[in-house]
Amino acid sequence: VEQRFVGQTALVTGAAGNIGLAVATRLAREGARLVLLDLDGDKLGHARDEVATLGGKVETVLCDVTDYKSVEAAVATAEAALGPVGLLFNNAGYQGAFAPIHEYPVEDFERVVQIDLIGAFHVLRAVSRRMVAQKFGRIVNTASMAGLQGPPNMGAYGASKFGVVGLTQVASKDLAPHNIRVNGIAPALMGPGFMWDRQTELQARTNTQYFSTDPEEVKKQMLGGVPMRRLGAMEEIPGVVSFLLSDDSSYITGVTLPISGG
Ligand code: NAD
C-alpha cells in the first residue's frame, strides 16, 4: 500500500476490537503513527503487539469514552507521546440487547447511548478542538446500517447510530471552516465471527415476526436481504476508512458510506 500518512498521527478508539484493529493496522502500514484507545487493557496490549510488528510508532491509552475527563486526559497523553492528532477513527461501540421496544431493558438502553452516541461525541469534541487549533483534521465515525435503516429489536443501537449519522452531518458543517472533514462508515453484516453469531443468536431469541427462532435460519434470512448474498469481511472496511481519511476524498464531508453489499 501507498505510504500516504507518513508523518501523521492517527487516533483509533475501540482499537482493541475487530474493526478498530483492522483499521489501525492499515493506517500503520500506510505510514501513520498510531494511538490505540480502548477500555479493555488485555485486548489493547495484544493490539499494540500486532501493530508494533509493522515497525511504526504506536502508543496505547486506556480510556472509557463515556467519561469525558478520561477522554480529555487520553487525548492529551496521546499528543504528548506522538504529536498532534490529525486523523481520527471514532469507532468504540457496543451493540446492546435485542428486544422489542416495549420490552427493551432501560439500563441497557442508557448504556448503549452512553457508549455509542455520547462517547462518540466526547471523542469528537476533545479531538476536534485540538484539530481546530492546528487547522487540520480528518475524521471518520463508525455508524452502522442500523443508523440508516432502523432494524427490529435494536432500539438503543439503532437510535444511537442514527445519532452518530446526525453528529457526522452537524460536525462536518461546524468544522468545515477549520479544514476538518468529518465522514462516517455504516457497516452492515460482518463476519464470520462473534458479532455475527451473537446478533443472529439474540435475534432468534426475541421470538418476533421478523426472524426464525433458529439462529442458523436467521443467518439465511438476514443474508437473503443482502443483494450480494454474503457477509462483509473485516478486510473490506479498512480501505474505505483510509480513503475517507486521505486526500482521495478531499471534496467529501458529512457523508456516511454504507459498507453493506448493496
Ligand atoms: P468489537 O466489540 O470487536 O470492538 C469494539 C471495541 O470498543 C472493543 O474493543 C471494546 O472494548 C471497545 N469499547 C467498548 N466500550 C468502550 C468504552 N466505553 N470506552 C472505550 N472503548 C470501548 O466490535 P467491532 O465490530 O470491532 O465494532 C466496532 C464498531 O463498529 C462499533 O462502533 C460497532 O457498533 C460498529 N459496527 C460493527 C458491525 C459488525 O458487524 N461488527 C457492524 C456495524 C457497525
Q: How many CB atoms lie within 10 A of CB 224?
A: 8
pLDDT per position as a tens digit, 72-121 = 999 999 999 999 999 999 999 999 999 999 999 999 999 999 999 999 99
Q: What is the pLDDT of residue 117?
A: 99
Is residue 16 lining ligand 1, measured as CB closer than 6 Å? yes
Q: Which amino acid is at 2?
A: E
Question: Locate cell 496490549: which residue?
Answer: 45
Question: Domains of the chain (ranges plus CATH)?
Answer: 9-188+236-251 (3.40.50.720), 190-231 (no CATH)
Is residue 5 lining ligand 1, measured as CB closer than 6 Å? no
Q: What is the pLDDT of residue 183?
A: 99
Q: What is the pLDDT of residue 197?
A: 95
SS3 for 91-142, per residue? CCCCCCCCECHHHCCHHHHHHHHHHHHHHHHHHHHHHHHHHHHHCCEEEEEE
Average pLDDT for 239-255? 98
157 annotated active-site: yes
Q: How far is the CA of 1 from the centre of ligand 1 (A)?
A: 25
Distances (CA, A) of 92 to 11, 20, 104: 12, 8, 22
Q: What is the pLDDT of residue 84?
A: 98
Going through the chain in order, the beta strands assigned E by DSSP cover 9-13, 33-38, 58-62, 85-90, 137-142, 180-187, 256-259
pLDDT per position as a tens digit, 20-73 = 999 999 999 999 999 999 999 999 999 999 999 999 999 999 999 999 999 999
How high is the ipTM of this complex? 0.99
Is residue 18 lining ligand 1, measured as CB closer than 6 Å? yes
Residue 1 has pLDDT above 90, yes or no: no
